[in-house]
Structure 1
Amino acid sequence: MNIKELTRAEEQVMQELWKQGKAFVKEIIEQMEDPKPAYNTVSTIIRILETKGFVGHESFGKSHRYFPKVSKDDYKDFAAGKLISGYFDNSAKKMLSFFIQENRLNIKETDELLRLLEKAKKK
């Protein structure tokens, strides 16, 4: 699958679609934070997302109910890979070091990461 990068607005719409599973434009807007975007704006973004292959739809007369064609996990994998390759020389170690040095991880999160690493070592 060839995943493309989403704009900020496209990602906001996809986040709602991933949460809801299937939704009409009106239902997507209802769940978005204030100030809510205009109906036409979200409708246009949805059509762009369809063109990019992220969204499909079911027709109900003149209405369309939209659903994700790309899973959140697949996009998360793509976005994480892009972050690691673009900013951390393809090194998860460098990325993790950055988060630790910038105090982006609290003690509880650090302990949880250590547990995950120990678990991974045992496999």
Structure 2
Amino acid sequence: MNSDKEPGMLTAAEAEVMNVIWDHDEVTVSDIVERLPRELAYTTVMTTCGILEEKGCVKKAGKRGRAFLYQPLISRDDARGVMSHEVARRLFRGSVKSLVLNLVRDDAISAEDLSEVKKMIEDLEASK
């Protein structure tokens, strides 16, 4: 991230816009509007891009015609990390373990995903 600001939590609309930006790397507001999974007004997306710029998540990277191009300043993985730690802090008193246990207990994780998580844990333990 190239900003002094920590991006923090993204709203649902901000996350939707960021997903389009991450998927396409350099997009205009019109590009984003066309690719969103739900209909949002052009002005709403434009405002959201401005907020994301203020948060340090995106930057204007030139123009295509008269429209600004937006590029991500934070990776999808970095945003996930920030948001998961923030959820843990807000809802689980800072315990990432409690967050993970909650996901596992609530059947929010498939058996296949659980096997993959176990393998990742084993790999991490082996590397220490």
Shorter-chain TM-score: what band?
0.7 to 0.9
TM-score computed with the length of structure 2 as normaliser: 0.83
Unpaired runs of 5+ in structure 2?
none
> Which letter maps to 1:86?
R
SS of residue paired to 1:67: strand
Q: Deviations over 1:38-63 (max 9, x none)?
A: 21221121122222222211134532
SS of residue paired to 1:97: helix
Unpaired runs of 5+ in structure 1?
none
- Structure 1 residues 48 and 100 mapped into 2: Cα distance closer, same or farther (>3 Å)? closer
Q: Is 2:106 the counterpart of 1:102?
A: yes
Structure 1 match to 2:51: 48
* Identical columns (%): 26
After TM superposition, list the pairs within 5 Å mapping 1:26-45 onto structure 2.
26-34=30-38, 36-45=39-48
| Cα-Cα RMSD | 1.7
Relative CO higher for 1 or 2, CA cutoff 8 Å, sep ≥ 6? 2
Choose the corresponding residue for 2:85, options 73, 81, 86: 81
Bigger CA radius of gyration: 1
Q: How many residues align?
A: 122
